[in-house]
Structures are given as C-alpha cells and as structure tokens.
C-alpha cells in the first residue's frame, strides 16, 4: 500500500484524522496479521520544517491501524526520514514483510 499526502504542517496530529478518513471512506482492504514494514518519507521544499519524525510516524501508524494491520506490534521495520523534494509531501509505503506494497 502506498499513499502520498500533499502539504506539510508542523502539527503531526493533523495527519491522523486526515489519513484515517481516507482509509475509512476509500480503502476497502481488511487488516491482516503478520509482520509489516513501513517507510515514511517527509519531502520538503527549502528548509526542513520543525516536525518530529517520531510524532509523525506515530500519528500515521495510529491512522492506518485497523485498516492494514491490527496492531502496532505487527510493525517489524519502521523507517522515517526527512529529505529535500520537489514539493511538500508525506509519502507512506506499507508492505507485509517479505512482500511488495499492499494493494
């Protein structure tokens, strides 16, 4: 599963309801058991925003819990990074461990 959220705010709590509503309304995959890998990439134009990546990761994981996987304990690998990009964007990739992205 791969999604992108355009725009960045320094308030990580903003992302949880936004991503949660997307999954609730648009994503028709039932959660699965097993280990998962999650990659979170915050891309920014210009100077990096003052946003704690750990808070961003927690908000995003809380938002997708119950839609892709059942519980945070299923996250076997988590990568969160900040990097320059072509636009302000949060990019999230979730895959079952050993598989490609979930669709």
CATH 1.20.1300.10 fits 2-96, yes or no: no
Question: What does the pLDDT read at residue 6?
Answer: 67
| Alpha carbon separation from 94 to 31, 44, 60 (Å, rounded) | 12, 21, 11
Question: What does the pLDDT read at residue 19?
Answer: 74
CA gap 64, 61 in Å, rounded:
5
Is a pLDDT exceeding 60 seen at residue 57?
yes
Question: Sorting pLDDT into bands at 50, 70 and 90, what band is 13?
Answer: low
20-37 pLDDT per residue, tens? 777 777 777 789 999 999
47 Cβ neighbours under 8 A, 6+ residues apart: none
């Amino acid at each position: 599963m791969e999604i992108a959220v355009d725009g960045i705010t320094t308030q990580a709590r903003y992302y949880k309801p936004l991503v949660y509503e997307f999954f609730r309304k648009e994503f028709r995959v039932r959660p699965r058991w097993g280990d998962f890998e999650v990659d979170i990439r915050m891309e920014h134009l210009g100077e990096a925003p003052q946003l704690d990546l750990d808070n961003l990761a927690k908000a995003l994981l809380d938002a997708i819990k119950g839609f892709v996987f059942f519980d945070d304990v299923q996250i076997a690998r988590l990568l969160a990074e900040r990097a320059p990009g072509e636009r302000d964007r949060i990019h999230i990739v979730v895959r079952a461990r050993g598989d490609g992205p979930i669709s």
